[in-house]
Structure 1
Amino acid sequence: MTTSTTTQRVSASVDLALVAAFAALTAVCSILPAINISTFVPITLQTFGVLLAGAVLGARRGSYAVLLWILVGAAGMPVFANGRSGLPVLTGPTGGYIVGFFFGALVIGLTAQILARRGDPRPVLLYVGGLIALVVIHLAGVVGLRLRAGLGWSEAVGLDATFWLGDLVKLVATVLVAAAVHRAFPTLLRRI
């Protein structure tokens, strides 16, 4: 076995472990006690887990972590908000948010990778990428509420608006944690 082959296997193993760890983190953030402000969408920390996966791991591994979390939940493990699971969650009123999480992790992950490759440590730029990710998540959520909850567009947008303040706070926390992780492990994103 050559050194190159060994390095590739170790790298793949590390990637797999990171994806699994962030999928588990997202699950924990999802099932922690939730606040229900409506009959459709609870407030949890899952947005923090999703954004952190992308911001720390980059687009590919971050979106894979979110996809793994979604697949585990779809398969029946109680990893969604309020300990729910199964395909009905994905096809229900909150399904749009869950689909949006995948693309949100991808967007903030791309931003993190670009910043890492440029050697640009400014957290404000990661925050901007995170804002774009939140827009993607919330647009998907509004569409899901409109189509699956039977709400009108204005009702869906109004319900969604109640989550923005909390998600902006979660984004600040994401950027602070991701910046600390990248200071501690500066090559984490550069090797992608």
Structure 2
Amino acid sequence: MERNLTHIALFAALIAVLGLVPKIDLVAVPITAQSLGIMLCGTVLGAKRGALAVLLFLALVALGLPLLAGGRGGLGVFVGPSAGYLVGFPLGAFVAGWIVEKWSAPIGIAALAGAFAGGIVVVTLCGIAGMALVLGKTLPEATLLALPFLAGDLLKVAICAALTRGLARLRPEALLSRA
């Protein structure tokens, strides 16, 4: 139990640290490195622990800690243009972890598939819905706003898969999604 709590807290901190990477403001929602942390939560910690790490991170943001990219925090971010992405973060981590846990493919392939499905498909669909709702856009218009994220997200999927595979080789016991 203690080990699980430690891992959950460490991965919540990882997401926060990835918020220190400079953000790029191309659309209403900033492009950040934090989605890589969301993917890693799932592929390394597994579905439940990964989602819990993200929920811990979001709870700290809701309390006002400036942990989102650009030093944002507080309840206001949950009603802004990025609200859908924030809702999608724990769901994306869960899906990524679930795929890695359930699929017996080699870890690199499973992590690639999990990070893509959870980190891009789930998070992006939630983000598009959120932008449409908050910005008063149609779903096609919000989808166009989300397109600039795709290239960076694909790169993050590849990095996530490589890091997860490397961790599995160096310290197999640390990969809780396959424990």
Identify the TM-score tier after normalising by the shorter chain. over 0.9
**Structure 1, gaps ≥5 residues long:** 1-11
Pick from 20, 25, 29: which aligns with 2:18?
29
What's the counterpart of residue 124 of structure 1?
A: 109
Deviation for aligned residue 1:138: 0.4
Give distance in 1, aligned partners of 2:78 and 2:134: 10
Q: Deviations over 1:9-36 (max 9, x none)?
A: xxx1111111111001101112321111
Count how many residue pairs are aligned between Structure 1 and Structure 2: 177
User: Aligned-pair RMSD on alpha carbons?
Assistant: 1.5
Deviation for aligned residue 1:191: 7.2
Give distance in 1, aligned partners of 2:21 and 2:177: 32
Q: Deviations over 1:94-144 (max 9, x none)?
A: 0100110110000111112224xx4x4242232122221111100000000
Confirm or deny that 1:108 pairs with 2:96.
Answer: yes
What's the counterpart of residue 142 of structure 1?
A: 128
Instruction: Tell me, yes or no, if the aligned pair for 2:111 and 2:164 is still in contact at 8 Å.
Output: no
What TM-score do the two structures reach when normalised by structure 2?
0.93
What TM-score do the two structures reach when normalised by structure 1?
0.87
Counterpart AA for 1:33? P
Give distance in 2, aligned partners of 1:183 and 1:77: 35
Confirm or deny that 1:95 pairs with 2:83.
Answer: yes
> Map of 1:176-187 to 2, 5 A cutoff?
176-187=162-173
Give distance in 2, aligned partners of 1:190 and 1:170: 19
Give distance in 1, aligned partners of 2:177 and 2:93: 17
> Map of 1:170-181 to 2, 5 A cutoff?
170-181=156-167
Determine which structure has more spread, i.e. the larger CA radius of gyration.
1
Counterpart AA for 2:3? V
Q: After TM superposition, which residue ranges in structure 1, 4 or more long, deviate above 4 angstroms?
A: none
Pick from 147, 157, 162: which aligns with 2:148?
162
Pick from 23, 37, 51: which aligns with 1:63?
51
Counterpart AA for 1:123? G
Counterpart AA for 2:9? A
Mean Cα deviation higher: 182-191 or 101-110: 182-191
**Structure 2, gaps ≥5 residues long:** none
Instruction: Tell me, yes or no, if the aligned pair for 2:43 and 2:114 is still in contact at 8 Å.
Output: no
Q: Percent identical across equivalent pairs?
A: 40
